[in-house]
Amino acid sequence: MLSRQNVLANPISQFKTWYQAAIEQEVLFQDAMHLGTVSSDGMPAGRIVLLRGVDENGFVFYTNYHSRKGHELADNPHASLTFFWPEMKRQIRIEGAVARTSELQSDNYFKSRPRGSQLGAAASPQSEVIDSRSFLQEGYEELVRKYEGDDVPRPAHWGGFCVNPQRIEFWQDVPDRLHDRMLYERTEAGIWEISRLAP
């Protein structure tokens, strides 16, 4: 069970502890997180993205900046993230402001991706309407020929976002639906305050 006595003072450290436990227990898709965004006209949208880094600055994922989520985050730079690990009966909810990662960070991550993923990112006009799958395949094959023997450069419209958390909640299943919920909230002074929430 969760209590103020057995959680860490820093929620990023607490997250890393739970995340490492998920890795060690071979939780399926432990890096998958639901990303919630809101458009400029107030319409919410959600999708699953993959965690690609976490530190004191926040939680990082990568995408096409011209995608729907990219446009929504440009218009409204706030988001929520949710991890759900049913094997461990745990959930983590994160809310915060969003900013692009540095060009260097995006370059370094892009270089670490498999070549096919690099070409796919460059070939896909993510979230746009296309006529057929052959449009994608032909664009991909054209890039294969173009960059044969060369490194694939990171497209300018592709890179990272970092969600800088203001609230992080750790949820643990408890019998009879008396679940444990520990909430961390960052004050204006940058101090994390911990509260218990009713299930």
The domain locations on the chain are: 11-113+159-197
Average pLDDT score over residue span 161-165: 98
For residue 158, give both structure tokens.
């592709």
Q: How far apart are the first and last CA of the chain?
A: 13
Supply the pLDDT for residue 1: 84
Q: Span 76-83, mean pLDDT?
A: 98
**DSSP at 144:** H
- Contacts of residue 83, Cβ cutoff 8 Å, sequence gap at least 6: 30, 32, 33, 34, 51, 90, 91, 92
Q: What is the pLDDT of residues 7-23, one digit of tens each?
A: 999 999 999 999 999 99
pLDDT at 58: 98
Quickly name the fold that domain 11-113+159-197 has: Pnp Oxidase; Chain A (2.30.110)
| 140 within 8 A of 149, measured Cβ to Cβ | no
Cβ neighbors of 176 (< 8 A, separation 6 or more) are: none
pLDDT of 127 > 90? The answer is no
pLDDT confidence of residue 112:
97
Active site residue 177: yes
pLDDT of amino acid 59: 98
Q: Among the options 93, 177, 181, 186, which is catalytic? A: 177
Q: What is the pLDDT of residue 4?
A: 86
pLDDT tens digit sequence for 97-115: 999 999 999 999 999 999 9
Cα–Cα distance, 36 to 47 (Å, whole number)? 7
Task: Give percent above pLDDT 70 in the chain.
Answer: 100
How distant is the alpha carbon of residue 127 from its chain centre? 18
